A and B are shown apart, each in its own frame.
Chain A
């Protein structure tokens, strides 16, 4: 079959295609750029690399177009379907790769390059089909005009309309659908032998069906992808064997996220860390040896080192990447004032429970516990009776604990379960809470080891330089309003792990409350 001069209606469609193809191509590029900068930070780097890859790949595609000699329209439909699939599934594919930790960067460049090559093939083909539709002068002017206008439409619509209305996932899929629709539209109008039309029709129909199905399901996945995204630009991100780490910065505010969960915001972390550390520190005659479990960001250690009598701090945190970041990277070490490089501080990277079990050194006067919330069984273990029993074994007879214990407002069942659990092991425990804007109302527990009387945080004065805590603030923090109190409930043990369930139920009811 030789493609003859395009009939009038077909040429209208083909001109429209030039516009659509340009718009879609640029949208895919923007999706890739936005995704990479969301997930990996450094938007300038990623946008530059992606634009470069895309444009050069388009060049490669244009060059390759000279090898396509016959059945131009059929080839055009095939390429259009391929762009629809690769471009449409670009965002789901890349999200999936990132969430699973497979070669995200490689896949990113592969998809951007592939889309570039395919889009690069399209325009020359279009021009050749439209070749006899007028003079070369007219043709080039029209096609390139539509192409550049398409790019403008995409670049304006993407940040202002598409992203806010549909999100990355559905924008990507929607443009895949548009590409596939163009293929179908072209197919309807051009003349070809029946077997060719059937084959192309099946291809196009399958692509449309796949994209439509994915688009319908996309809403369900968007929520889980939310945890991969952050409000502020990511300035640094990585994935370790233990977790995803991201640091974002918006204005003066630096935030640390572990597995998508906010760990601190520099705007208000002083409220959290002063509340976590100092009540326990001033409840002992002298806090010479201090144990920190979790808290690899070193912010709790910074507060501990305000107390001049501290002789040794042992910090046990699972992830060497986190402690390394907050020791070596200047702007992050500045947040903890170089606490992790202090000669008094020893950093141990390991699992807290086995570490407690095997610890044979001198006992600790104070332990500060700053584990992530119990949202899985591995973390739930660190809030069990078993854990508190192991902890008591490394503490001095007057040992005092300061511990983060989730929010008594958002997860009250979980919070009071933690309080009851540590009490059930014979600790004298006093719950208290503080308002931390980035987290909301936050709960802590001050406790003394079994056999010791109630903690009295009045042994000594608070150190100088605190921004939040004083005697009045502390006294007020021990009082709980009625909506934060849950008097009865189970105790968290290894053999029931009820806390994980309570915490999940709490957050679920909080979400339905918020909606």
Chain B
């Protein structure tokens, strides 16, 4: 009897070693950003009273995400010679364009510039992303153009090229996709009554023609129903776009925003060059751009600074906790490069109703010893799993142009639905739950991931992306939110109703230009 057990045992070991699940070593990692959240939520409490001012600046910029850095960039570009104070809650610049262990932890790509995006073009040229011009069109540094294959989709057991589920689409699905694409092409080729294109990045350059803006008064889902777009495959693909940029479902997103995602992505429809892609990216995402912007700032920044209250003046006063001390600062002009709800908290006057809200996101950076093996298309920048709650993941090795060796995958999962409730649900999640969620999904498409993984770091973004809900892009909300209050100029991607580097940059530059106008400083305008 014992011998037989021994033999059975030997057979089991032999088979187990060959076909069983590979061992899963203990994975290390952490939940990131909780300290930042604690700092941010400190300003929920009652603000201390304003004391006698200790510091005076001509301009103060609060928030060194993309908008704040862009405002500083615009001031520097205009040769602004006044004093400038820069204050940021976090320990470094970047906001949601954060990076961790060489991989993006938030926003991770930008698109080539549209002709309307003048400020953005000049900025990209200054940052060395645009390296020259040919017949009036920008030439981009080949090293930052997203390498092919850009996208692949895991469906029915294999990776296929592109995001469209070719394996599952029926002729009817294909026909509906063709019809939708043809409609988007018409959107790209046309202009509204004001001569502007209907869907442009920056949003501010899009047509105000009521006929087009009417699309903002209906949900994308209802619009698709009305147009007869019933294909579940097409609707998955379209919802993927909404979740990807906005963290919202088809029902939540306005038709205007849903179409903007598709129609505004071709930066210049008149450009007949074969560009391959309009995506620009870096191994650690947009963090490379924000670091470059921060490095160009002639003014040193105060990090870990909690602005507790702002009196819009003029002149404006700010109550700031910085380096363990509370200081009162006066400034002729202030750029609040912060989300709208934070601006509402800070202003010591009756808060406006919060109309802009954000979808929470869970992002994980998964460090691997090697690029995992794939069935089908072997590599891509963006890997998407059909039907998953996540948006998939991007690989830092791919952006570096490597197809093997160590890599970090940045995995993105938006949490659509009622934001307050969803934020609380996400905040209750542990690192273990996030880690398990991402590894379960990854190992379902890359069986060797559990063997290769060395670390999983999880970030909870309570306010990840602006939600372009029904009504937002056809009403006074955005314009009101962007209007100056006393000497305070809001600047944030929120003010475009979509979360994009290009939009944040636009509002940063626009706010800086307002500031310079107020101060009577000459500059070459790039916005408006």
Contacts and interface: CB of A to CB of B under 8 A. Distances in A.
B144 to A, nearest CB: 10
Interface in B124-152: 142, 145-150
Contacts of A498: 148
A353 B401 CA distance: 10
Contact of A68 (B3, B17, B148): B3
Contacts of A494: 142, 145, 147-148, 401
Which of the listed residues A381, A495, A496 has the most CB atoms from chain B within 10 Å of its own CB?
A: A495
Contacts of B14: 86, 107, 110-111, 114
B270 interface: no
A490 interface: yes
Contacts of B19: 93
Interface string B379-416: 10000000000000000000001111000000000000
Interface string B402-442: 11100000000000000000000000000000000000000
Contacts of B378: 376-377
Given A114-B14, A353-B401, A495 B7 contact: no
B418 to A, nearest CB: 40
Contacts, number: 71
A146 interface: no
Given A353-B401, A493-B276, A494-B142, A377 B148 contact: yes
Contact of A495 (B10, B17, B147, B379): B147
Given A96-B18, A376-B378, A494-B401, A75 B4 contact: yes
A501 B8 CA distance: 48
A491 B277 CA distance: 14
B274 A490 contact: yes
B351 interface: no
A78 B18 contact: no
A118 interface: yes
Contacts of A378: 402-404
A82 interface: yes
Contacts of B11: 82, 85-86, 114
B407 to A, nearest CB: 13
A496 B276 contact: yes
B281 to A, nearest CB: 11
Contacts of B161: 501
A496 B148 contact: yes
Interface string B1-21: 001100110110010011100
A497 interface: yes
Contacts of B4: 68, 75, 78
B275 interface: yes
Interface residues of A, number: 35
Contacts of B379: 377
A403 B388 CA distance: 45
B403 A495 contact: no
A67 interface: yes
Contact of B18 (A107, A117, A381, A496): A107
Contacts of B149: 377, 497
Contact of B3 (A64, A96, A381, A385): A64
Contacts of A86: 11, 14
A502 to B, nearest CB: 13
A67 B150 CA distance: 63
Interface string A157-200: 00000000000000000000000000000000000000000000
A74 to B, nearest CB: 10
B18 A497 contact: no
Contacts of A381: 147, 401
Contacts of B17: 107
Interface in B12-44: 14, 17-19
Interface in A278-334: none
Contacts of B145: 494-495
A491 to B, nearest CB: 8
Nearest to A103: B17
B82 to A, nearest CB: 42
Interface string A64-107: 10011000000100100010011000000100110000100001
Interface string A491-514: 101111110010000000000000
A75 B1 CA distance: 10
Interface in A455-503: 490-491, 493-498, 501
B7 A117 contact: yes
A117 B8 CA distance: 12
A386 interface: yes
Contacts of A389: 142
Contacts of B276: 493, 495-496
A172 to B, nearest CB: 14
A103 to B, nearest CB: 8
Nearest to B140: A495
Interface in A380-422: 381, 385-386, 389
Contacts of A82: 7-8, 11
A494 B401 CA distance: 9
Interface in A189-220: none
Contact of A497 (B142, B148, B275): B148
Contacts of A75: 4
B419 to A, nearest CB: 36
B146 A93 contact: no
A68 B4 CA distance: 9
Contacts of A85: 11
B136 to A, nearest CB: 21
B146 A495 contact: yes
A14 B147 CA distance: 65
A258 to B, nearest CB: 15
B147 A118 contact: no
A437 B144 CA distance: 43
A206 B402 CA distance: 45
Interface in A108-122: 110-111, 114, 117-118
A97 B142 contact: no
Interface string B263-288: 00000000000111100000000000
A118 B7 contact: yes
A381 B149 CA distance: 11
A386 B148 contact: no
Interface string B43-79: 0000000000000000000000000000000000000
B45 to A, nearest CB: 50
Contacts of B274: 490-491, 496
Contacts of A102: 18
Nearest to A85: B11
A200 to B, nearest CB: 13
B18 A495 contact: no
A386 B142 contact: yes
Given A64-B3, A82-B11, A490-B274, A377 B403 contact: yes
A294 to B, nearest CB: 16
Contact of B147 (A68, A78, A385, A497): A497
A93 B7 contact: no
Contacts of B8: 82
B446 to A, nearest CB: 14
A451 B147 CA distance: 28
A510 B7 CA distance: 50
Interface string B438-476: 000000000000000000000000000000000000000
Nearest to A75: B4
Given A67-B3, A82-B7, A495-B277, 11 more contacts: A64-B3, A97-B18, A107-B14, A107-B17, A110-B14, A353-B401, A491-B274, A493-B142, A493-B148, A495-B145, A497-B147
30 contacts: A68-B4, A75-B4, A82-B11, A86-B14, A97-B18, A111-B14, A114-B10, A114-B14, A117-B7, A376-B378, A377-B148, A377-B149, A377-B378, A377-B403, A378-B402, A381-B147, A385-B142, A490-B274, A493-B148, A494-B147, A494-B401, A495-B142, A495-B147, A495-B148, A495-B150, A496-B276, A496-B277, A497-B148, A497-B149, A501-B161
Interface of B: 3-4, 7-8, 10-11, 14, 17-19, 142, 145-150, 161, 274-277, 378-379, 401-404
